[in-house]
Each structure stands twice: as structure tokens, then as C-alpha cells.
Structure 1
């Protein structure tokens, strides 16, 4: 796959102005009529966001745009990003044009000095890449709010089975999308180390490109703009079945040197796997039935 192939895709929208540490781009893919993804970055304020709309037609586009606008407003005022996501949720639920399955996923990176925090809802992801010889180490910092992730956390299926599962596009949590006024937002917090990169993406990247390929592209391309182009090109080469959005962010200049054994998260949500390990098979089966019924009611399957 060549970078030239990516540059010929008229659907690529990339933001370069004023960016020094980061780069981002979005592409509608080959099978969608419009791009329902949205992204935004402000290096000066230290905030980045990727949102993946769902609902079809212009519904998803409106939903992801609403999420980005609320993050933009929050970055210029109080920097309370959880509240911004909840505000977007309320706005979408109150929109007269909102349909039952209109919503958006979101992943937000907020930076404070050499620390950063990730907020997310749905299956848009954040990865941390750390240089460690070869292609480095790529770690997923977020866990998907999806039906397939629930099955994986329970041990019912493995990662290979998840990749081809018929319900792999069904999410269990999103901004908007239901009559539920409450929105659960997960978050993690870490300290940067020199040489690290953060990758934010919609599922149009991570469902098409394996982690090994992502790590290789990050390791071999110090220029974030080129790495973004190559990642989108890899997703297109793999089929481009969904909208694809990618942001790559370098560690800040003041980040401390990488330690031989990286520090654990300063603040980390409890992993789902630990919760499900304590459940009996009967209890877990009941939860799956409840989840299936809930998803049928609130209409959260992402359109293919």
C-alpha cells in the first residue's frame, strides 16, 4: 500500500493548520454515501476528540457534529468534558429531529501538563504506542461498549470469533440513541512518557487493520501526517467498509523519560473482565438476555 494511493482518495479530509504534535484525518470509506464521523483538535488547549455517528442518512452526521461542538465549547470555557458529553446527550434526546437510533460514540483526550485523561462512550478507541524496539508496544486504553465485548469479557468467545461475529457492530452505549436520560462515561488517566504516541480512532480503522499493522505504521513513520495517511490507506485496502477517522498525538516536550517498567494508570476504571469473572453462568446468561432486549428497544445496532 502506497501513500500515493491514499492521496488520490478525494474523500480524505485532513487538518494540518497550526498542528505540530498531532495530525488527524477522516474518510467516508468505500461503502458509505456520507461520512458520519467527526473529529476536532486544539493542541494549545490540549484536547482532541473523535466521534462516530450512527443512525444513517444525516442523523449520524448531526449526532457526531453535536458531540464535537460541545467539546469545543467546553475546551474554551470550563474544560469539564464529561459534562460536555452529557450535554450533547441531552441535546440529542431533546432534538425534534432525533430518531430512536440516532446517536454517536465518542473518545476524548484531555491533557494537563504531562498527564492525560481519556473519556469515551461506545466503540471509538484510544491506543497508546510506546517505543520498545521493533514495532514498539501498542496498548488499547479503552474497552468497547459493545455486545461482542461483553461476550469476550465473559470468555464466551475469543478475539478471532469476535472479528467475524454477526453482532460485532452492535453497541451497548452511545450518546443519544435512546430515551435513557442517564449517560455512563468511562475514563482513564495516565502520565505521558517521552516518545509515546496516542491514537484516537473510529471503528472504521480498528475493525479493518490489525494491531500489528497499526504498530508497524506508527513505528516506521515519525511524521504523524504520513502515519495518518498510511493508516487510512490500510483501512481502505482492507475494504473500507465504514467511515474511517484517525488522530495521532505525540507526547508533549516536557514528558519524562520512559522508565523500564511504565507506571500503572493514575486513575483507571475497573475492567469489565474482573466484574464478569465473579458472575455465575446463569447470572451472565440472564444479563445477556437483558442486554439483547434492551438493544432491541433502544435501537443501537450500527448500520453496515
Structure 2
């Protein structure tokens, strides 16, 4: 496998207000090195301000330091300060999941319950990389609740931390480190997708031989058909790793070229 010097990482993104909310409080950020989904919370308390501040601060701080967790921590402080100064309102907050890629290596960092999944086309396998910062995860880990009960628990949407929470002095940023393989994609999403669309349904769409943008449109449509109770935001990033042609593939290419 190799990465060609002129290869640019390909990605697609989409955001939709859904079927219930009047305002889209999600914010996306995408460039050649950083991709993120910020899911603002607060409604009238300016969740959209919190998510926009998170995206702006993380992208700016990351461009300076190259340290994603540090950039996310800075965003938390920025949102708290903004609320205190009247830019937005007290109680606004946001979750965030972000991806950065450097050559064959990548890092996923997150706070809250926005998620990152790894889709491996060759293995036809979808793996959740992030772990929700939520009450349900804590209860499941402690054995106090079953996975089946968690699906309909009245507090299933309660998260244990977010950017902008005045109850937390410093957020705990979790990280996942990996190496790209050919045929892989990383999907970042707000819980407007993951709450309503099962992993099996995601696989059904991701395995289709259509463009990434078309896949995201179909995933969004599924979430909306299931109620679209929240804003839906998704980013899908391709692996930069390309398969190296075998000796026989190269020989065949030369032969075909010479006969044309």
C-alpha cells in the first residue's frame, strides 16, 4: 500500500435540521487535516452558538499546536467564557467528535456522545471507535442495566460531559489512535443519526457502490423517515492509503497500453 504525493484525502459531509427541530444547532468543519461534528445543545440557550464556537476554536487552536485534545479543551473554556460575557446564554453547550489524519495515521478525539465509526469495505465491517460519555455507558459498564433496557431507558440521552458545562472545570477528552488501511472510511456523526439509525442499516448504505455524498443523503433520509427527532450531521472521510498494483497488474497495464 502507498500514499501518492498528489493524493488529497476525499470526504463528504451533510447536515440537516431533521423533522422536529426548528433550528439546526449542529456545526461541521472540514479541511485537508481536520474534520469535526459539533452537536450544540440548549435550544433557546444558544446551542448553535456553542457548536460554532467549538468548531472555530478547535480549528484555530489545532492549526497552531497540532494537538487535537488541547484544541478541544480550549473550546470548552471559550464557550464558558462566551456565556459569561453574554455571547450566547448560560447553559449552552456542545458535544464534539473530531478526526485528524497525518500520512497513514489518524486520531479521533471526542467529548460527549457524538460518534466516530470505522467502515472497512474489504471486511464489510462497521466498528464504533468512540465511546459515549453518557449515563447509559456508565450503567452498562457497571452491570446495573442490560443493553436491551438501555435502548428505551428514560435517561438514555443524558451525557456526563460536554463542552461549555459550567459544572466541569476541565473536560476529559478521549482519544483513539489508528492507522489507515486501503478501503476504509471514518464516519463522524451527531446523535441525530446514531440514535435512530442502527449499525446494520448504516452498513446497508455504506456498502453500496455509490458516491460518499449519495451515501450520506441516504443515511439522512433514513433518520428522517424514522422520525428525524434531532438535527442530523455526518462527515465521511476516505482513507488516503491506496492499494499498490501487483506485478501482474502492472504488466497487464503496460501490455494493454502497448496494444492501443
Q: Given the two structures, how large is their TM-score scaled by the length of structure 2?
A: 0.85
Partner of 2:183: 195
Relative to structure 1, is the Cα distance of residues 26 and 117 closer, same or farther in structure 2, using a 3 angstrom cutoff?
A: same
Relative to structure 1, is the Cα distance of residues 256 and 238 closer, same or farther in structure 2, using a 3 angstrom cutoff?
A: farther
Q: Match for 1:151 among 125, 135, 139?
A: 139
Q: Deviations over 1:250-269 (max 9, x none)?
A: 11034789xxxxxxxxxxxx
Regions of 4+ moved over 6 Å:
none
Q: Match for 1:107 among 70, 93, 97?
A: 97
Partner of 1:66: 53
Q: Match for 1:32 among 1, 13, 21?
A: 21
Alignment pair present for 1:41 and 2:11: no
Indicate if the aligned counterparts of 1:114 and 1:254 stay in contact, CA closer than 8 A. Answer: no
1:119-198 matches, cutoff 5 A? 119-132=109-122, 136-198=124-186
CA distance in 1, matches of 2:243, 2:154: 42
Partner of 2:256: none
Secondary structure of 1:161's aligned partner: helix
Larger radius of gyration: 2
CA distance in 1, matches of 2:145, 2:185: 30
Relative to structure 1, is the Cα distance of residues 30 and 227 closer, same or farther in structure 2, using a 3 angstrom cutoff?
A: same
CA distance in 2, matches of 1:256, 1:166: 51
CA distance in 1, matches of 2:97, 2:207: 23
CA RMSD of aligned residues (A): 1.9
Offset of residue 179 of structure 1: 3.8
Indicate if the aligned counterparts of 1:221 and 1:227 stay in contact, CA closer than 8 A. Answer: no
Secondary structure of 1:33's aligned partner: coil
Relative to structure 1, is the Cα distance of residues 221 and 58 closer, same or farther in structure 2, using a 3 angstrom cutoff?
A: farther
Indicate if the aligned counterparts of 2:45 and 2:90 stay in contact, CA closer than 8 A. Answer: no
In the alignment of these two chains, the number of paired residues is 235
CA distance in 1, matches of 2:91, 2:244: 44
Partner of 2:76: 89
Offset of residue 148 of structure 1: 1.1
Q: Given the two structures, how large is their TM-score scaled by the length of structure 1?
A: 0.73
Unaligned runs of 5+ in 1: 1-18, 258-304
1:248-259 matches, cutoff 5 A? 248-254=236-242
- The structure, 1 or 2, with the larger RCO (C-alpha pairs under 8 Å, 6+ apart) is 2
Offset of residue 237 of structure 1: 0.7
CA distance in 1, matches of 2:111, 2:121: 28
